[in-house]
Chain A
Amino acid sequence: MSQFAQSSDAAALASTRPPRRARRKFNVMSILGTTPMILTAVGVFVVCIIFSFIWSFTNSKLFPNFNFVGLDQYYRLWASDRWNISVGNVFVFGIWSMVANMVFGYLLAVFMDQRIQQEDLFRSIFLYPFAMSLVVTGLVWQWMFDPNLGIQSAVRQLGWTDFQFAPLTNQSTAIYGVVLGGVWNGVGVTMAILLAGLRGVDGEIWKAAKIDGIPAWRTYLFIVLPMMKGAILTAFILQCTGVVRVFDIVIAMTQGGPGVSTQMPAIYVIQHITDRVNVGQGMAAASTMLLPVIAVLALQGILQWNARRKKEKAL
């Protein structure tokens, strides 16, 4: 961490030894203090992932076993219409809900940043949906979207008798209905994080932009936004975990229907390891889901390592 440690790194580099950093010392108290983390990371996540991976090559049914069947589970997985549709859906859902969350969340944050009256009230209104579970969110929106009970029927009762708004009843629009429900639930948190990010930006920047005569909207979009990397990343990670695990809201809103048009990978995994009694197939799907995550994290790790090396070289 310290200046001193870094310069000793530089010295190490100069003598062509692999860079070692002084902070990576063995520290008993630190290890002791983080025992729960070590147990969770290794004992729960690593073990689970390894076992999921192993079981994905078996024909495990109700309970996991070790009768290996090679890649059979993966062949079946990728031959399944439902799985392929699920994979497509998680991308559609993920991209749309992230874009909507970020755009709408940033817009809200910017508008909230205009020295408005009743900021507390508005913030509470935008944030409260996050207090509702996704199951409740799904139920409420399913109801609002119901053609005979919800928005459509309400508008028709007002006199617009051929008004059409029932996204969940149609295969091609159902997924966007789910996106809307998800955004309603989560955009408040995105707004809060981005608002915090906005207010963390140095005030001098604003003054400078003003002096240069840059209009406010350009400042928000091209100057301030790139400076909020931390806030954006936090919001992004929060949303990513929600997208990969998306389950409750779909079950509550559409149960994966109409047909299989809003199925998601997590539902596939869960149904197979529970009610369909095919743990092997479920684990193959779970392992497949984790691959892109591993890839992204590994990429990030390499980039970080590279950046550090460059920095050290520069010293």
Chain B
Amino acid sequence: MKKFAVVAAMATALLGSTAVHAADVEVIHWWTSGGEQAAVSVFAREFDALGEDKWVDTAIAGGENARAATLQRILGGDAPGAAQFNPGRQYEELISGGMLLDLTPLAESEGWANFIRPASISEACLVDGHWWCVPVNIHSWNWAWASIPAFAKAGVELPTSFDDFLAKAPKLKEAGIIPFAIGGESWQINGAFGVIQTSMLGLADREKILKDKDVELAKSLMPNVFTKFREFKQFADEGSANRNWNDTTNLVVTDQAGIQVMGDWARGEFGVAGKVAGTDYACLALPIDHPTVSTGGDIFLFPKQTDAAVEAAQLKMASMMVNPQVQALFNNAKGSMPIRDDVDMSLADDCMKKGLEIIKDPANIAVDAGRWLSNDTTGQMNDLVAQFWADDSMTVDAAVEQYVNILATAE
């Protein structure tokens, strides 16, 4: 890969150092499962192939654990060379505290701003005109996964909207199928809630509430969302309380459940089980009448290092991660959408191709709420929605009141 050699030379030049020896770059991430591991191996392989530098892998399962380890090690002066995060506001203080490597010269010379799309993806890394991280993929929450045989068994068509689904759900239940598959972790519940919220409010009002924190609008619109959300509960099953998301997806894979609202990473579960989109299962982009893509995903931060050789290697790694060929290999393995359009995704399955179509139009982008809300605020909302879902005695009014309160005190 000639291009990498050029980049490497450039990285060296940027640093102004002459003889840079090989370096180890430790990467902390939480990609420990099958598909994830294949994806991270793409990065590692490509990076090692660039030259003498080595990818040193530190996998810590669970995003919370991995991020905590990264932050604590930065604090302790033993920062890893690169660390996985989710786009959001969690690393704001790392930027303002000058703890991250400024990738701007590299990004400008490679023209990242020209090819990374949609804008909300680059905004996660581009703060005050400087690039502080590398987005590597896009994951969208706005999907529902439906079992075609399950709906056939109940004798109803696939739903055309959430209301339509709620109307058909009793039929599914009669047929011995769990209409609405959902797990017990608060992020799952909150994710489904967010998708239902987006569907009911539309992108514009959603942005007014979550970005501009329009309290009055929230007061008038959120009661409907909470009321609707509660209607789904009667169609969930008893085992939902402690279930993790992939066991939940498995209910749809095995036709025991009707639909699951879950991000596009669920596709991998169907793939592993040898199911075919369109005949065994359907991926419904939500809202069905106007499909959108939400822009979650993964990014890599490069904490500042004292060793110039490591810094040069970090820049090489950053460049490698946005390379179109690597993007193609990586995202095909990961089951996520690439961060640029000029990537060969001919291997992608039908569901991903659907997503790639939707993402082309900026009007279809539901900016990830994590861009607007701090982790703290998101966490409070998670707690509230999980509590509302589990506790039938909590009224809609009480929930809305708390929701508005969280918004009003959000920073």
Interface residues of A (CB under 8 A from B): 61-63, 76, 80-82, 142, 145-148, 166, 168-171, 174, 253-261, 271-272, 274-278, 281
Supposing A171-B391, A274-B67, A275-B64 touch, asked if A258 and B94 sit within 8 A by C-beta, the answer is no
In whole Å, how far is B216's beta carbon from the nearest beta carbon of chain A? Answer: 21
B71 adjacent to A274 (CB under 8 Å): yes
B364 in the interface (beta carbon within 8 A): no
Between-chain CB contacts (< 8 Å), 22 pairs: A61-B92, A61-B93, A61-B374, A61-B376, A62-B94, A63-B93, A81-B384, A81-B387, A166-B238, A171-B390, A171-B391, A254-B241, A258-B241, A258-B242, A260-B186, A260-B383, A260-B390, A271-B64, A275-B63, A275-B64, A275-B68, A276-B376
Identify which of A62, A147, A174, A255 gathers the most chain B CB atoms within 10 Å of its CB.
Answer: A62
B186 adjacent to A277 (CB under 8 Å): no
| B residues contacting the other copy or chain, number (CB 8 A) | 36
In whole Å, how far is B186's beta carbon from the nearest beta carbon of chain A? Answer: 7
Of the residues B384, B388, B390, contact of A261 by C-beta under 8 Å: B390
Q: How far apart are the CA atoms of A272 and B376 in the complex, in Å?
A: 7
Question: How would residues 240 to 279 of chain B score, 1 for a CB under 8 Å from any chain A CB and 0 otherwise?
Answer: 1110000000000000000000000000000000000000
Of the residues B93, B184, B379, contact of A271 by C-beta under 8 Å: B379
Of the residues B67, B93, B186, contact of A257 by C-beta under 8 Å: B186
In whole Å, how far is B321's beta carbon from the nearest beta carbon of chain A? Answer: 24
A81 adjacent to B383 (CB under 8 Å): yes
Chain A residues positioned under 8 Å from B376 (CB to CB): 61, 272, 276-278, 281
A274 adjacent to B185 (CB under 8 Å): no
Supposing A62-B90, A260-B387 touch, asked if A148 and B239 sit within 8 A by C-beta, the answer is yes
Supposing A168-B242, A274-B68 touch, asked if A259 and B375 sit within 8 A by C-beta, the answer is no
Q: How many pairs of residues, A versus B, come closer than 8 Å at their CB atoms?
A: 104
Chain B residues positioned under 8 Å from A170 (CB to CB): 241
> Chain B at the A interface: mostly helix, strand, loop or mixed?
helix
A82 adjacent to B387 (CB under 8 Å): yes
Chain B residues positioned under 8 Å from A255 (CB to CB): 184-186, 242
Supposing A82-B387, A276-B379 touch, asked if A169 and B238 sit within 8 A by C-beta, the answer is yes
In whole Å, how far is A189's beta carbon from the nearest beta carbon of chain B? Answer: 27
Query: In chain B between 372 and 400, which residues have their CB closer than 8 angstroms to a CB of chain A?
Result: 374-376, 379-380, 383-384, 386-391
Chain A residues positioned under 8 Å from B240 (CB to CB): 169
In whole Å, how far is B91's beta carbon from the nearest beta carbon of chain A? Answer: 8
Query: In chain B between 21 and 78, which residues have their CB closer than 8 angstroms to a CB of chain A?
Result: 63-64, 67-68, 71, 75
Name the CB-closest residue of A to B67.
Answer: A275
In whole Å, how far is B363's beta carbon from the nearest beta carbon of chain A? Answer: 32
Name the CB-closest residue of B to A172.
Answer: B391
Name the CB-closest residue of B to A63.
Answer: B93
Q: How far apart are the CA atoms of A270 and B185 in the complex, in Å?
A: 17
In whole Å, how far is A291's beta carbon from the nearest beta carbon of chain B? Answer: 23
B75 adjacent to A146 (CB under 8 Å): no
Chain A residues positioned under 8 Å from B186 (CB to CB): 255-257, 260
Identify which of B67, B238, B388 gathers the most chain A CB atoms within 10 Å of its CB.
Answer: B238
B75 adjacent to A63 (CB under 8 Å): yes
In whole Å, how far is B246's beta carbon from the nearest beta carbon of chain A? Answer: 15
Chain B residues positioned under 8 Å from A145 (CB to CB): 242
Chain B residues positioned under 8 Å from A277 (CB to CB): 89-90, 93, 374-376
Name the CB-closest residue of A to B393.
Answer: A171
Q: How far apart are the CA atoms of A63 and B376 in the complex, in Å?
A: 14
Name the CB-closest residue of A to B93.
Answer: A62
Name the CB-closest residue of B to A259.
Answer: B390
Identify which of B68, B75, B93, B383 gathers the most chain A CB atoms within 10 Å of its CB.
Answer: B383
Q: How far apart are the CA atoms of A253 and B391 in the complex, in Å?
A: 19
Chain B residues positioned under 8 Å from A63 (CB to CB): 75, 93, 97
Chain B residues positioned under 8 Å from A275 (CB to CB): 63-64, 67-68, 90, 375, 379
Chain A residues positioned under 8 Å from B160 (CB to CB): none
In whole Å, how far is A16's beta carbon from the nearest beta carbon of chain B? Answer: 55
Chain A residues positioned under 8 Å from B161 (CB to CB): none
